[in-house]
């Protein structure tokens, strides 16, 4: 699933950097936009949330 918090692309890094630098005290929420309209297996959301949570520590 997700191997590392670094499993990302340049656009996402630059957007995250802008949020951190320009709005350091802001709370943000990110969401997944399925542009390819891929279907995901049952339980995928739970597994994804756990994987992201494991990166936070």
The per-residue pLDDT for range 17-35, each reduced to its tens digit, is 898 899 999 887 878 788 8
- Across 47-53, average pLDDT: 86
| pLDDT value at 9 more than 70 | yes
Specify if 4 maps to a domain: no
pTM confidence score: 0.50
Specify if 23 maps to a domain: yes
Biggest CA pair distance of the chain: 38
Specify if 36 maps to a domain: yes
Specify if 24 maps to a domain: yes
Specify if 5 maps to a domain: no
| pLDDT value at 5 more than 80 | no
- Across 27-47, average pLDDT: 88
Number of domains in the chain: 1
**Residue 36 domain boundaries:** 10-56
Considering only CA atoms, which of 38, 20, 36 is closest in space to residue 28? Answer: 20
Sign of the four-CA dihedral 22, 25, 31, 32 = positive
Specify if 15 maps to a domain: yes
């Amino acid at each position: 699933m997700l191997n590392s918090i670094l499993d990302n692309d340049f656009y996402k890094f630059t957007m995250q950097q802008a949020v951190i630098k320009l709005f350091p005290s802001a709370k943000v929420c990110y969401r997944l936009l399925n542009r390819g309209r891929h279907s995901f297996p049952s339980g995928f959301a739970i597994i994804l949330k756990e994987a992201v949570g494991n990166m936070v520590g």
